[in-house]
């Protein structure tokens, strides 16, 4: 009887602990499960106004001997591969997915904000066009955390690798209906980025607060359907694919992993997926 009660209490405690929100932290230490040395997992933000790595991040970078980002940003073929994957398949064009009125609105918006006409980019995947607006959304000189990490890695004479390829990332946006991507572009053009600016500002606030749970909630509740309606494609499926890579690589060398902060939290986030595989993943504050 006592043993049965003990088991039941253990199950309840385990359930409650698993249900708790993760701590506020962007840096997580991966250890245990046969790892000789710990690796580190860091949540990045792809576009920010300023970058300030604290002592804990610098220490993690010093204690590891290689770096894995979402993609290998040091790959000399990166730009060429990206160019090949920018076009929509089957001859689809953005203008064919819009009304005549929407074409006029988007064309004017593109000319004003990125100095191109819709004819010049008509076959591009809409998300690629949306990426061009990010500096305008930030309203500050844009910096990327990944670029700064690559710079540090080079200074330490360490290799940079990717958890996936740029081709893998581009294929993701073939799985999200082009029509949905175009609809979001039209919404952005019609309100001249007002809602997008507000959402990015909120995201930066959450990121600076190191609130990875809040980051995931914002993504899931976003008015942008590409973000909110395709979580499995954008986050969960990729997280699951990364785990095998992280396990293999971490056993070979202590590694610094830098992935978008939205990938960290949640039951299908990288942190809990690694814990389910038997690793100790703890916040570094």
Kindly report, residue by residue over 120-172, the tens digit of the pLDDT: 999 999 988 988 888 889 988 899 999 999 999 999 999 999 999 988 988 88
Domain of residue 241 covers 25-87+140-173+193-283
Asked, for residue 127, whether it belongs to a domain, the answer is no
* Residue 97 predicted with pLDDT over 50: yes
d(CA 278, CA 91) in angstroms, rounded, equals 47
Average pLDDT over residues 235-253: 97
pLDDT in tens, 52-95: 999 999 999 999 999 999 999 888 888 888 888 889 999 999 99
Number of structural domains (the chain) is 1
Average pLDDT of the residues in 250-276: 97
Write phi, then psi, for 114 (nearest 5 degrees).
-130, 10
Q: State how far the Cα of 163 lies from the Cα of 61, in Å rounded to an integer.
A: 18
What distance in Å separates the CA atoms of residue 226 and residue 210, rounded to the nearest whole number? 24
pLDDT at res. 19 = 41
pLDDT score, position 139: 82
Can you tell me the distance from the alpha carbon of 282 to that of 267, in angstroms, rounded to the nearest whole number?
15
Residue 273 within any structural domain of the chain: yes
Q: 35, exposed or middle or buried, with CB in 10 Å at 0-12, 13-18, 19+?
A: middle
pLDDT of amino acid 93: 96
Residue 7 forms part of a structural domain: no
Query: Would strands 280-283 and 66-69 be described as parallel, antiparallel, or unpaired?
Result: unpaired
Asked if residue 10 is part of any domain, the answer here is no
CA distance 219 to 186: 20
Burial class of 197 by CB neighbour count within 10 A (0 to 12, 13 to 18, 19+): middle
**10, 56, 84, 269, 285 from 164: Cα distances, Å:** 38, 26, 17, 16, 28
Q: Tell which residue, 145, 114, 141, has the closest CA to residue 46.
A: 145
Q: Is 241 within a domain? A: yes
20, pLDDT greater than 80: no
Per-position DSSP letters for 147-208, written without gaps between them: HHHHHHHHHTT--EEESS-HHHHHHHHHHS-HHHHHHHHHHHHHTTTHHHHHHHHHHHHHHH
Residue 126: inside a domain: no
Q: How far apart are CA 178 and CA 183, in angstroms?
A: 9
The strands making up 39-44's β-sheet, listed across from edge to edge, are 160-162, 66-69, 255-260, 39-44, 27-31, 280-283
Residue at 80 is within a domain? yes
More confident residue, 181 or 229: 181
The verdict on residue 279 lying in a domain is: yes
Residue 229, token pair as written in the block: 């309606």
């Amino acid at each position: 009887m006592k043993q049965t009660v003990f088991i039941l209490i253990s199950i309840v405690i385990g359930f409650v602990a698993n249900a708790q929100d993760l701590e506020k932290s962007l840096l997580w230490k991966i250890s245990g499960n046969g790892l000789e040395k710990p690796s580190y997992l860091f949540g990045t933000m792809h576009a920010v106004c300023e970058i300030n790595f604290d002592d804990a991040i610098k220490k993690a970078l010093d204690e590891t001997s290689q770096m894995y980002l979402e993609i290998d940003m040091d790959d000399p073929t990166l730009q060429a591969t990206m160019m090949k994957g920018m076009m929509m398949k089957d001859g689809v064009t953005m203008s064919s997915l819009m009304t005549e009125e929407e074409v006029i609105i988007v064309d004017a918006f593109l000319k004003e904000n990125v100095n191109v006409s819709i004819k010049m980019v008509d076959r591009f995947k809409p998300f690629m066009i949306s990426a061009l607006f990010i500096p305008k959304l930030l309203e500050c000189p844009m910096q990327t955390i990944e670029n700064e990490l690559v710079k540090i890695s080079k200074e330490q004479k360490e290799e940079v690798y990717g958890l996936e390829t740029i081709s893998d990332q581009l294929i993701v946006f073939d799985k999200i209906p082009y029509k949905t991507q175009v609809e979001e572009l039209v919404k952005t053009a019609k309100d001249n980025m007002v809602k997008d600016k507000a959402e990015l500002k909120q995201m930066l606030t959450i990121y600076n607060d190191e609130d990875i749970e809040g980051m995931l909630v914002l993504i899931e509740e976003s008015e942008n359907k590409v973000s909110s309606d395709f979580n499995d494609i954008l986050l969960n499926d990729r997280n699951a694919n990364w785990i095998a890579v992280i396990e293999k690589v971490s056993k070979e060398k202590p590694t610094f992993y830098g992935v978008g902060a939205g990938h960290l939290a949640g039951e299908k986030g990288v942190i809990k997926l690694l814990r389910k595989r038997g690793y100790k993943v703890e916040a570094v504050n």
